[in-house]
A and B are shown apart, each in its own frame.
Chain A
Amino acid sequence: MIRSLLLDWQYRLDVSATSRLFIRSINLVGFGLILWMLPISNMVWGDAHFSILYHDFQGLDSIAVLLRFDGVRQFYLVFLMSYLGLTLLGLLGFSNAVSRFATWLIILILYYGNYDVSNGGWHMLIQLHFLSIFLFKPDTIQNETLKALANFTHNVAFRFIWIQIAFMYFTSGVHKLFGNYWLNGEALLLVLNRPEFSLPFLFENLAENTFWLKLGTWCALGYQLLFPFVIWIKRLRPWILVMGLIFHLFILIFMGITDFALILIAAYTVFIEPKNANRLLKYLRLE
Protein backbone atom coordinates (compact mmCIF):
# COMPACT_ATOMS: atom_id res chain seq x y z
CA MET A 1 0.00 0.00 0.00
CA ILE A 2 2.68 2.51 1.04
CA ARG A 3 4.88 1.42 -1.84
CA SER A 4 2.02 1.93 -4.31
CA LEU A 5 1.30 5.34 -2.82
CA LEU A 6 4.93 6.42 -3.12
CA LEU A 7 4.87 5.27 -6.73
CA ASP A 8 1.52 6.90 -7.42
CA TRP A 9 2.73 10.28 -6.13
CA GLN A 10 5.49 10.23 -8.76
CA TYR A 11 3.00 9.88 -11.59
CA ARG A 12 -0.10 11.73 -10.47
CA LEU A 13 -0.86 15.16 -9.12
CA ASP A 14 -4.58 15.23 -8.32
CA VAL A 15 -4.31 18.21 -6.00
CA SER A 16 -2.85 20.63 -8.52
CA ALA A 17 -5.96 22.86 -8.73
CA THR A 18 -6.17 23.11 -4.94
CA SER A 19 -2.48 24.00 -4.79
CA ARG A 20 -2.94 26.75 -7.36
CA LEU A 21 -5.89 28.18 -5.42
CA PHE A 22 -3.98 27.91 -2.14
CA ILE A 23 -0.89 29.70 -3.51
CA ARG A 24 -3.10 32.51 -4.78
CA SER A 25 -4.97 32.81 -1.50
CA ILE A 26 -1.89 33.02 0.73
CA ASN A 27 -0.39 35.55 -1.65
CA LEU A 28 -3.63 37.51 -1.51
CA VAL A 29 -3.65 37.62 2.28
CA GLY A 30 0.09 38.42 2.44
CA PHE A 31 -0.32 41.19 -0.12
CA GLY A 32 -3.32 42.61 1.74
CA LEU A 33 -1.55 42.44 5.09
CA ILE A 34 1.51 44.39 3.98
CA LEU A 35 -0.55 46.84 1.91
CA TRP A 36 -2.68 47.43 5.03
CA MET A 37 0.46 48.22 7.03
CA LEU A 38 2.00 50.49 4.40
CA PRO A 39 0.66 53.75 5.97
CA ILE A 40 2.48 52.98 9.23
CA SER A 41 5.47 51.24 7.67
CA ASN A 42 7.90 53.96 8.72
CA MET A 43 6.81 53.45 12.33
CA VAL A 44 7.08 49.68 12.04
CA TRP A 45 10.22 49.20 9.95
CA GLY A 46 11.54 52.69 9.24
CA ASP A 47 13.40 55.32 11.22
CA ALA A 48 10.31 56.39 13.21
CA HIS A 49 10.26 53.05 14.98
CA PHE A 50 10.33 52.50 18.73
CA SER A 51 11.10 48.81 18.80
CA ILE A 52 14.18 47.17 20.24
CA LEU A 53 16.58 46.18 17.49
CA TYR A 54 18.92 44.22 19.69
CA HIS A 55 19.74 40.71 18.42
CA ASP A 56 22.46 38.12 18.80
CA PHE A 57 22.30 36.33 15.46
CA GLN A 58 25.49 35.77 13.54
CA GLY A 59 26.68 34.37 10.21
CA LEU A 60 23.97 33.11 7.86
CA ASP A 61 21.31 33.63 10.54
CA SER A 62 21.89 37.38 10.42
CA ILE A 63 20.23 37.42 6.96
CA ALA A 64 16.91 36.79 8.71
CA VAL A 65 17.42 39.88 10.87
CA LEU A 66 18.70 42.15 8.10
CA LEU A 67 16.17 44.82 8.99
CA ARG A 68 17.68 45.07 12.48
CA PHE A 69 20.84 46.56 10.97
CA ASP A 70 20.77 50.36 10.69
CA GLY A 71 22.48 50.33 7.31
CA VAL A 72 19.82 48.02 5.85
CA ARG A 73 16.81 49.35 7.74
CA GLN A 74 16.82 52.60 5.81
CA PHE A 75 15.98 50.52 2.71
CA TYR A 76 12.98 48.84 4.32
CA LEU A 77 10.73 50.00 1.48
CA VAL A 78 12.70 47.86 -0.95
CA PHE A 79 11.71 44.80 1.10
CA LEU A 80 8.09 45.93 1.39
CA MET A 81 7.73 46.68 -2.31
CA SER A 82 9.45 43.42 -3.29
CA TYR A 83 7.05 41.47 -1.12
CA LEU A 84 4.06 43.36 -2.53
CA GLY A 85 5.29 42.76 -6.08
CA LEU A 86 5.97 39.06 -5.57
CA THR A 87 2.68 38.38 -3.82
CA LEU A 88 0.76 40.33 -6.47
CA LEU A 89 2.40 38.20 -9.15
CA GLY A 90 1.62 35.08 -7.11
CA LEU A 91 -1.98 36.19 -6.79
CA LEU A 92 -2.18 36.58 -10.56
CA GLY A 93 -0.75 33.09 -11.05
CA PHE A 94 2.82 34.05 -11.91
CA SER A 95 4.98 32.23 -9.41
CA ASN A 96 7.55 29.49 -9.35
CA ALA A 97 9.74 27.87 -6.71
CA VAL A 98 12.32 30.67 -6.93
CA SER A 99 9.80 33.49 -6.57
CA ARG A 100 8.07 31.66 -3.72
CA PHE A 101 11.41 31.18 -1.98
CA ALA A 102 12.07 34.92 -2.31
CA THR A 103 8.58 35.67 -0.96
CA TRP A 104 9.22 33.48 2.07
CA LEU A 105 12.64 35.04 2.70
CA ILE A 106 11.30 38.59 2.51
CA ILE A 107 8.31 38.00 4.81
CA LEU A 108 10.70 36.36 7.27
CA ILE A 109 12.99 39.42 7.17
CA LEU A 110 9.98 41.73 7.59
CA TYR A 111 8.80 39.63 10.55
CA TYR A 112 12.16 39.92 12.31
CA GLY A 113 12.29 43.61 11.39
CA ASN A 114 9.58 44.16 13.98
CA TYR A 115 7.84 41.18 15.47
CA ASP A 116 5.87 43.38 17.87
CA VAL A 117 3.26 43.68 15.12
CA SER A 118 3.01 39.96 14.49
CA ASN A 119 1.09 37.10 16.05
CA GLY A 120 0.53 33.37 15.53
CA GLY A 121 -1.14 34.16 12.21
CA TRP A 122 2.10 35.64 10.89
CA HIS A 123 3.98 32.53 12.00
CA MET A 124 1.48 30.46 10.07
CA LEU A 125 1.75 32.69 6.97
CA ILE A 126 5.55 32.38 7.02
CA GLN A 127 5.34 28.58 7.29
CA LEU A 128 2.78 28.40 4.49
CA HIS A 129 4.95 30.56 2.25
CA PHE A 130 7.81 28.18 3.04
CA LEU A 131 5.86 25.01 2.27
CA SER A 132 4.44 26.52 -0.90
CA ILE A 133 7.98 26.63 -2.32
CA PHE A 134 7.72 22.86 -2.85
CA LEU A 135 4.43 22.98 -4.77
CA PHE A 136 6.26 22.54 -8.07
CA LYS A 137 4.53 22.60 -11.45
CA PRO A 138 5.45 19.32 -13.20
CA ASP A 139 3.61 20.27 -16.44
CA THR A 140 6.46 22.55 -17.42
CA ILE A 141 9.14 19.86 -16.94
CA GLN A 142 10.24 17.65 -19.87
CA ASN A 143 12.70 15.33 -18.16
CA GLU A 144 10.79 12.28 -16.83
CA THR A 145 12.88 11.84 -13.67
CA LEU A 146 12.64 15.51 -12.74
CA LYS A 147 8.93 15.44 -13.49
CA ALA A 148 8.50 12.49 -11.12
CA LEU A 149 10.54 14.32 -8.49
CA ALA A 150 8.41 17.45 -8.89
CA ASN A 151 5.20 15.42 -8.69
CA PHE A 152 6.37 13.55 -5.63
CA THR A 153 7.66 16.61 -3.74
CA HIS A 154 4.46 18.51 -4.54
CA ASN A 155 2.32 15.66 -3.23
CA VAL A 156 4.34 15.38 -0.02
CA ALA A 157 4.49 19.16 0.62
CA PHE A 158 0.75 19.43 0.03
CA ARG A 159 0.06 16.86 2.79
CA PHE A 160 2.49 18.66 5.08
CA ILE A 161 0.57 21.91 4.60
CA TRP A 162 -2.40 20.03 6.03
CA ILE A 163 -0.18 18.74 8.82
CA GLN A 164 1.12 22.26 9.55
CA ILE A 165 -2.43 23.60 9.98
CA ALA A 166 -3.58 20.54 11.93
CA PHE A 167 -0.48 20.80 14.12
CA MET A 168 -1.31 24.39 15.01
CA TYR A 169 -4.73 23.41 16.37
CA PHE A 170 -3.38 20.28 18.02
CA THR A 171 -0.57 22.11 19.84
CA SER A 172 -2.80 24.93 20.92
CA GLY A 173 -5.56 22.54 22.04
CA VAL A 174 -3.34 20.11 23.93
CA HIS A 175 -1.51 22.89 25.77
CA LYS A 176 -4.87 24.28 26.88
CA LEU A 177 -5.58 20.99 28.63
CA PHE A 178 -2.71 21.72 30.99
CA GLY A 179 -4.18 24.98 32.18
CA ASN A 180 -7.15 25.61 34.45
CA TYR A 181 -9.21 28.28 32.77
CA TRP A 182 -10.03 26.28 29.64
CA LEU A 183 -11.14 23.15 31.45
CA ASN A 184 -13.10 25.18 34.03
CA GLY A 185 -14.88 26.98 31.21
CA GLU A 186 -13.66 30.39 32.35
CA ALA A 187 -11.31 31.26 29.49
CA LEU A 188 -13.84 33.07 27.29
CA LEU A 189 -15.06 35.24 30.17
CA LEU A 190 -11.46 36.12 30.97
CA VAL A 191 -10.51 36.92 27.37
CA LEU A 192 -13.62 38.97 26.61
CA ASN A 193 -12.95 41.08 29.69
CA ARG A 194 -9.60 42.14 28.26
CA PRO A 195 -10.15 45.44 26.41
CA GLU A 196 -7.61 44.58 23.70
CA PHE A 197 -9.34 41.27 22.88
CA SER A 198 -12.90 42.47 23.17
CA LEU A 199 -15.43 45.25 22.55
CA PRO A 200 -16.75 47.77 25.10
CA PHE A 201 -20.30 46.37 25.13
CA LEU A 202 -18.83 42.98 26.03
CA PHE A 203 -16.30 43.81 28.74
CA GLU A 204 -18.63 46.34 30.33
CA ASN A 205 -21.39 43.76 30.69
CA LEU A 206 -19.73 40.40 31.11
CA ALA A 207 -19.13 40.02 34.82
CA GLU A 208 -20.48 36.55 35.42
CA ASN A 209 -19.52 33.26 33.84
CA THR A 210 -22.78 32.09 32.30
CA PHE A 211 -23.56 28.69 30.80
CA TRP A 212 -23.18 30.18 27.30
CA LEU A 213 -19.71 31.51 28.03
CA LYS A 214 -18.68 28.13 29.40
CA LEU A 215 -20.11 26.44 26.33
CA GLY A 216 -18.21 28.88 24.10
CA THR A 217 -14.96 28.07 25.92
CA TRP A 218 -15.44 24.33 25.59
CA CYS A 219 -16.54 24.60 21.94
CA ALA A 220 -13.33 26.51 21.11
CA LEU A 221 -11.26 23.91 22.95
CA GLY A 222 -13.18 21.03 21.37
CA TYR A 223 -12.75 22.50 17.91
CA GLN A 224 -8.99 22.76 18.31
CA LEU A 225 -8.70 19.21 19.61
CA LEU A 226 -10.99 17.71 16.97
CA PHE A 227 -9.72 19.53 13.89
CA PRO A 228 -6.40 17.64 13.54
CA PHE A 229 -8.29 14.33 13.34
CA VAL A 230 -11.59 15.21 11.65
CA ILE A 231 -9.96 17.11 8.79
CA TRP A 232 -8.68 13.82 7.33
CA ILE A 233 -12.22 12.40 7.12
CA LYS A 234 -13.63 13.51 3.79
CA ARG A 235 -17.30 13.21 4.83
CA LEU A 236 -16.83 15.43 7.90
CA ARG A 237 -14.36 17.90 6.38
CA PRO A 238 -16.92 20.50 5.18
CA TRP A 239 -18.47 20.59 8.66
CA ILE A 240 -15.23 21.15 10.50
CA LEU A 241 -14.27 23.84 7.99
CA VAL A 242 -17.58 25.66 8.47
CA MET A 243 -17.04 25.48 12.23
CA GLY A 244 -13.53 26.86 11.67
CA LEU A 245 -14.88 29.70 9.58
CA ILE A 246 -17.30 30.65 12.38
CA PHE A 247 -14.49 30.29 14.96
CA HIS A 248 -12.16 32.62 13.04
CA LEU A 249 -14.90 35.12 12.20
CA PHE A 250 -15.67 35.29 15.94
CA ILE A 251 -11.98 36.02 16.57
CA LEU A 252 -12.06 38.73 13.89
CA ILE A 253 -15.27 40.47 14.96
CA PHE A 254 -15.28 40.11 18.74
CA MET A 255 -11.60 39.74 19.59
CA GLY A 256 -10.22 41.98 16.86
CA ILE A 257 -7.28 39.74 15.91
CA THR A 258 -8.05 40.51 12.29
CA ASP A 259 -4.84 39.42 10.58
CA PHE A 260 -4.77 36.06 12.37
CA ALA A 261 -8.36 35.34 11.33
CA LEU A 262 -7.83 36.31 7.69
CA ILE A 263 -4.61 34.28 7.37
CA LEU A 264 -6.30 31.16 8.74
CA ILE A 265 -9.37 31.59 6.55
CA ALA A 266 -7.07 31.93 3.52
CA ALA A 267 -5.16 28.83 4.61
CA TYR A 268 -8.38 26.79 4.61
CA THR A 269 -8.36 26.88 0.79
CA VAL A 270 -5.88 24.01 0.92
CA PHE A 271 -8.72 21.77 2.13
CA ILE A 272 -11.00 22.49 -0.85
CA GLU A 273 -11.58 19.51 -3.11
CA PRO A 274 -9.58 19.85 -6.38
CA LYS A 275 -12.71 19.85 -8.58
CA ASN A 276 -14.26 22.64 -6.50
CA ALA A 277 -10.97 24.53 -6.49
CA ASN A 278 -10.91 24.29 -10.27
CA ARG A 279 -14.47 25.57 -10.44
CA LEU A 280 -13.68 28.44 -8.08
CA LEU A 281 -10.58 29.46 -10.06
CA LYS A 282 -12.67 29.52 -13.25
CA TYR A 283 -15.55 31.34 -11.57
CA LEU A 284 -13.17 34.01 -10.30
CA ARG A 285 -11.67 34.18 -13.81
CA LEU A 286 -8.26 33.49 -12.38
CA GLU A 287 -7.67 30.73 -14.93
Chain B
Amino acid sequence: MPLQNHPKSRLPKWLPIVIIGMFVAHYFTVALNHFSKELLPKKYYYLTNQYLVPWFYQNLTAFAPEPPYRRHVFVYRLRSNTNWSEWKQPAQPHLERQWNNRFSISVKIHDQLENLAEQLYDSGDRDKTNVGLLRFAKHSYVLDAARRYAKNYDDEVLNALEMQVAVYIAEYGVDNNQMAIRDTAYIFESMPL
Protein backbone atom coordinates (compact mmCIF):
# COMPACT_ATOMS: atom_id res chain seq x y z
CA MET B 1 0.00 0.00 0.00
CA PRO B 2 1.44 3.42 -0.92
CA LEU B 3 2.54 5.66 1.89
CA GLN B 4 0.39 8.70 2.48
CA ASN B 5 1.44 12.20 3.32
CA HIS B 6 0.69 13.00 6.90
CA PRO B 7 1.07 16.48 8.36
CA LYS B 8 3.67 15.81 11.03
CA SER B 9 4.78 13.34 13.60
CA ARG B 10 2.51 13.11 16.61
CA LEU B 11 5.29 11.52 18.60
CA PRO B 12 8.57 13.07 19.69
CA LYS B 13 11.13 12.30 16.97
CA TRP B 14 13.23 10.12 19.25
CA LEU B 15 10.36 7.88 20.39
CA PRO B 16 9.85 5.80 17.20
CA ILE B 17 13.61 5.27 17.06
CA VAL B 18 13.69 4.14 20.69
CA ILE B 19 10.76 1.73 20.19
CA ILE B 20 12.28 0.15 17.10
CA GLY B 21 15.71 0.19 18.77
CA MET B 22 14.39 -1.80 21.73
CA PHE B 23 12.92 -4.49 19.49
CA VAL B 24 16.07 -4.62 17.37
CA ALA B 25 18.33 -4.83 20.45
CA HIS B 26 16.16 -7.60 21.88
CA TYR B 27 16.32 -9.70 18.72
CA PHE B 28 19.99 -8.97 18.23
CA THR B 29 20.55 -10.49 21.70
CA VAL B 30 18.37 -13.48 20.86
CA ALA B 31 20.35 -14.02 17.63
CA LEU B 32 23.70 -13.64 19.39
CA ASN B 33 22.55 -16.14 22.00
CA HIS B 34 21.58 -18.73 19.40
CA PHE B 35 24.60 -18.34 17.18
CA SER B 36 27.09 -18.41 20.04
CA LYS B 37 26.01 -21.96 20.88
CA GLU B 38 27.94 -23.31 17.91
CA LEU B 39 29.40 -20.62 15.71
CA LEU B 40 30.47 -17.62 17.78
CA PRO B 41 32.60 -17.62 20.94
CA LYS B 42 30.76 -19.28 23.81
CA LYS B 43 31.29 -16.27 26.08
CA TYR B 44 28.48 -14.46 24.19
CA TYR B 45 26.13 -17.29 25.01
CA TYR B 46 26.69 -16.88 28.74
CA LEU B 47 26.64 -13.10 28.45
CA THR B 48 23.33 -12.96 26.58
CA ASN B 49 21.82 -15.51 28.95
CA GLN B 50 22.16 -12.89 31.68
CA TYR B 51 19.46 -10.92 29.88
CA LEU B 52 17.40 -13.69 28.26
CA VAL B 53 17.05 -16.22 31.07
CA PRO B 54 14.47 -16.72 32.44
CA TRP B 55 12.09 -14.21 30.85
CA PHE B 56 12.98 -14.38 27.17
CA TYR B 57 14.72 -17.72 26.86
CA GLN B 58 14.05 -19.60 23.65
CA ASN B 59 15.79 -22.52 22.03
CA LEU B 60 15.02 -22.70 18.34
CA THR B 61 17.83 -24.95 17.13
CA ALA B 62 15.73 -28.11 17.22
CA PHE B 63 17.23 -31.05 15.32
CA ALA B 64 20.31 -28.94 14.53
CA PRO B 65 23.17 -29.07 13.80
CA GLU B 66 22.41 -32.81 13.80
CA PRO B 67 19.15 -34.63 14.42
CA PRO B 68 19.17 -36.38 17.80
CA TYR B 69 21.09 -39.57 17.14
CA ARG B 70 21.26 -40.87 20.67
CA ARG B 71 18.17 -42.15 22.43
CA HIS B 72 18.13 -42.40 26.22
CA VAL B 73 15.50 -44.60 27.82
CA PHE B 74 14.78 -44.64 31.54
CA VAL B 75 14.71 -48.18 32.98
CA TYR B 76 14.66 -49.47 36.53
CA ARG B 77 14.18 -52.63 38.55
CA LEU B 78 13.08 -53.35 42.09
CA ARG B 79 14.38 -55.80 44.69
CA SER B 80 12.08 -57.48 47.16
CA ASN B 81 13.94 -59.85 49.50
CA THR B 82 16.67 -61.34 47.31
CA ASN B 83 14.90 -61.20 43.98
CA TRP B 84 15.29 -58.43 41.45
CA SER B 85 12.36 -57.75 39.13
CA GLU B 86 12.77 -57.59 35.36
CA TRP B 87 14.00 -54.23 34.04
CA LYS B 88 10.98 -51.99 33.61
CA GLN B 89 10.69 -49.47 30.81
CA PRO B 90 7.84 -47.23 31.98
CA ALA B 91 7.79 -44.88 28.96
CA GLN B 92 7.11 -47.66 26.44
CA PRO B 93 3.32 -48.06 26.95
CA HIS B 94 2.93 -44.28 26.68
CA LEU B 95 4.87 -44.27 23.43
CA GLU B 96 2.69 -47.07 22.05
CA ARG B 97 -0.44 -45.10 22.91
CA GLN B 98 0.95 -42.13 21.05
CA TRP B 99 1.62 -44.27 17.95
CA ASN B 100 -2.09 -45.09 17.88
CA ASN B 101 -3.27 -41.56 18.53
CA ARG B 102 -1.17 -38.51 17.76
CA PHE B 103 -3.37 -36.48 20.09
CA SER B 104 -2.84 -38.80 23.06
CA ILE B 105 -1.65 -37.00 26.17
CA SER B 106 0.55 -40.04 26.87
CA VAL B 107 3.27 -38.31 24.86
CA LYS B 108 3.79 -35.87 27.70
CA ILE B 109 4.23 -38.68 30.24
CA HIS B 110 6.63 -40.35 27.85
CA ASP B 111 8.61 -37.12 27.41
CA GLN B 112 8.96 -36.62 31.15
CA LEU B 113 10.27 -40.16 31.61
CA GLU B 114 12.73 -39.83 28.76
CA ASN B 115 13.93 -36.52 30.13
CA LEU B 116 14.59 -38.32 33.38
CA ALA B 117 16.85 -40.68 31.41
CA GLU B 118 18.52 -37.67 29.79
CA GLN B 119 19.17 -36.11 33.18
CA LEU B 120 20.44 -39.40 34.62
CA TYR B 121 22.86 -39.71 31.75
CA ASP B 122 24.01 -36.08 31.91
CA SER B 123 24.36 -35.95 35.67
CA GLY B 124 25.85 -39.43 35.99
CA ASP B 125 29.48 -39.28 35.11
CA ARG B 126 29.43 -36.88 32.23
CA ASP B 127 31.71 -33.91 32.02
CA LYS B 128 29.83 -31.74 29.59
CA THR B 129 29.87 -28.02 29.04
CA ASN B 130 26.60 -26.55 30.19
CA VAL B 131 24.71 -25.19 27.21
CA GLY B 132 21.29 -25.88 28.64
CA LEU B 133 18.79 -23.67 30.38
CA LEU B 134 19.78 -24.57 33.91
CA ARG B 135 22.92 -26.14 35.26
CA PHE B 136 22.78 -29.89 35.14
CA ALA B 137 20.95 -31.10 38.20
CA LYS B 138 22.96 -32.96 40.77
CA HIS B 139 22.86 -36.69 40.26
CA SER B 140 21.23 -37.19 43.67
CA TYR B 141 18.31 -34.95 42.63
CA VAL B 142 17.75 -37.05 39.54
CA LEU B 143 17.89 -40.27 41.52
CA ASP B 144 15.32 -38.76 43.90
CA ALA B 145 13.07 -37.97 40.93
CA ALA B 146 13.39 -41.55 39.68
CA ARG B 147 12.52 -42.89 43.11
CA ARG B 148 9.56 -40.50 43.30
CA TYR B 149 8.28 -41.84 39.99
CA ALA B 150 8.42 -45.45 41.21
CA LYS B 151 6.76 -44.58 44.51
CA ASN B 152 3.94 -42.68 42.82
CA TYR B 153 3.26 -44.95 39.89
CA ASP B 154 4.45 -48.51 40.57
CA ASP B 155 2.47 -50.66 43.04
CA GLU B 156 5.33 -53.16 43.31
CA VAL B 157 7.23 -50.56 45.30
CA LEU B 158 5.15 -51.48 48.35
CA ASN B 159 7.00 -54.80 48.67
CA ALA B 160 10.35 -53.57 47.42
CA LEU B 161 13.41 -52.76 49.50
CA GLU B 162 15.74 -51.42 46.88
CA MET B 163 15.67 -49.82 43.45
CA GLN B 164 18.23 -49.71 40.69
CA VAL B 165 18.02 -47.28 37.80
CA ALA B 166 19.70 -47.38 34.42
CA VAL B 167 19.71 -45.64 31.10
CA TYR B 168 19.36 -47.72 27.96
CA ILE B 169 21.23 -45.97 25.16
CA ALA B 170 20.67 -46.50 21.47
CA GLU B 171 22.97 -44.70 19.03
CA TYR B 172 21.68 -44.17 15.52
CA GLY B 173 23.95 -43.71 12.56
CA VAL B 174 24.08 -44.28 8.80
CA ASP B 175 26.75 -46.55 7.41
CA ASN B 176 27.01 -47.04 3.64
CA ASN B 177 23.48 -45.76 3.15
CA GLN B 178 22.19 -48.29 5.68
CA MET B 179 20.77 -47.60 9.11
CA ALA B 180 23.11 -48.69 11.90
CA ILE B 181 21.89 -48.88 15.50
CA ARG B 182 24.26 -49.60 18.36
CA ASP B 183 22.94 -50.08 21.87
CA THR B 184 24.43 -50.09 25.31
CA ALA B 185 23.36 -49.21 28.85
CA TYR B 186 24.51 -47.25 31.86
CA ILE B 187 23.60 -48.86 35.16
CA PHE B 188 23.68 -46.68 38.22
CA GLU B 189 24.00 -47.60 41.85
CA SER B 190 21.16 -49.20 43.76
CA MET B 191 19.32 -47.11 46.28
CA PRO B 192 17.04 -47.93 49.17
CA LEU B 193 13.36 -47.09 48.78
Whether A207 is near chain B, meaning CB under 8 Å from some CB there, is yes
Tell me, rounded to whole Å, the shortest Cβ–Cβ distance linking A95 to chain B.
21
* CB-contact partner of B102 in A172, A180, A186, A252, under 8 A: A252
What CA separation (Å) do A116 and B120 show in the bound complex? 14
Which residues on the A side are within 8 Å of B102 (C-beta)?
A: 252-253, 256, 258
Report yes or no: A54 in contact with B103, Cβ–Cβ below 8 A: no
Tell me, rounded to whole Å, the shortest Cβ–Cβ distance linking B139 to chain A.
11
Whether B87 is near chain A, meaning CB under 8 Å from some CB there, is no
Which residues on the A side are within 8 Å of B30 (C-beta)?
A: 167
Report yes or no: B105 in contact with A56, Cβ–Cβ below 8 A: no
Which residues on the A side are within 8 Å of B44 (C-beta)?
A: none
Whether A85 is near chain B, meaning CB under 8 Å from some CB there, is no
Report yes or no: B99 in contact with A149, Cβ–Cβ below 8 A: no
What CA separation (Å) do A154 and B176 show in the bound complex? 53
Determine which residue in B1, B15, B53, B63 has the highest number of CB atoms from chain A within 10 A of its CB, and name it: B63
Report yes or no: B111 in contact with A52, Cβ–Cβ below 8 A: no
Whether A284 is near chain B, meaning CB under 8 Å from some CB there, is no
Whether B158 is near chain A, meaning CB under 8 Å from some CB there, is no
Interface size of B by CB at 8 A reads: 77
Whether A283 is near chain B, meaning CB under 8 Å from some CB there, is no
Report yes or no: A148 in contact with B10, Cβ–Cβ below 8 A: yes
Report yes or no: A48 in contact with B107, Cβ–Cβ below 8 A: no
Nearest A residue (CB) for B116? A50
Report yes or no: B133 in contact with A172, Cβ–Cβ below 8 A: no
* In the complex, chain B residues 142-172 whose Cβ is within 8 Å of any chain A Cβ: 142, 144-146, 148-149, 152-153, 172
Interface size of A by CB at 8 A reads: 89
Whether B85 is near chain A, meaning CB under 8 Å from some CB there, is no
* In the complex, chain A residues 112-131 whose Cβ is within 8 Å of any chain B Cβ: 112, 114-117, 119-120, 123-124, 126-127, 130
Q: List 24 A-B contacts (CB under 8 A).
A: A1-B3, A8-B4, A10-B10, A10-B16, A44-B112, A49-B148, A51-B115, A152-B11, A164-B27, A167-B30, A167-B60, A171-B31, A171-B61, A175-B37, A178-B38, A181-B69, A182-B67, A187-B67, A190-B173, A190-B179, A193-B181, A196-B114, A252-B102, A258-B107
Residues of A within 8 A of B (CB): 1, 4-12, 14, 36-37, 39-40, 43-44, 48-52, 54-57, 61, 64-65, 108, 112, 114-117, 119-120, 123-124, 126-127, 130, 144-145, 147-149, 152-153, 156-157, 160, 163-164, 167-168, 171-182, 184, 186-187, 189-191, 193-197, 199-200, 206-209, 252-253, 256, 258
Besides A123-B57, A171-B64, A179-B66, 17 other A-B contacts (C-beta < 8 A): A9-B16, A44-B112, A50-B145, A50-B146, A51-B112, A52-B142, A108-B54, A116-B112, A116-B116, A124-B58, A127-B58, A153-B19, A174-B35, A182-B64, A184-B174, A189-B174, A190-B174
Q: When A and B form their complex, which 8 residue pairs have the shortest distance between CB atoms, in order from nearest? A: A179-B65, A175-B64, A148-B10, A50-B149, A64-B54, A116-B115, A123-B58, A179-B66
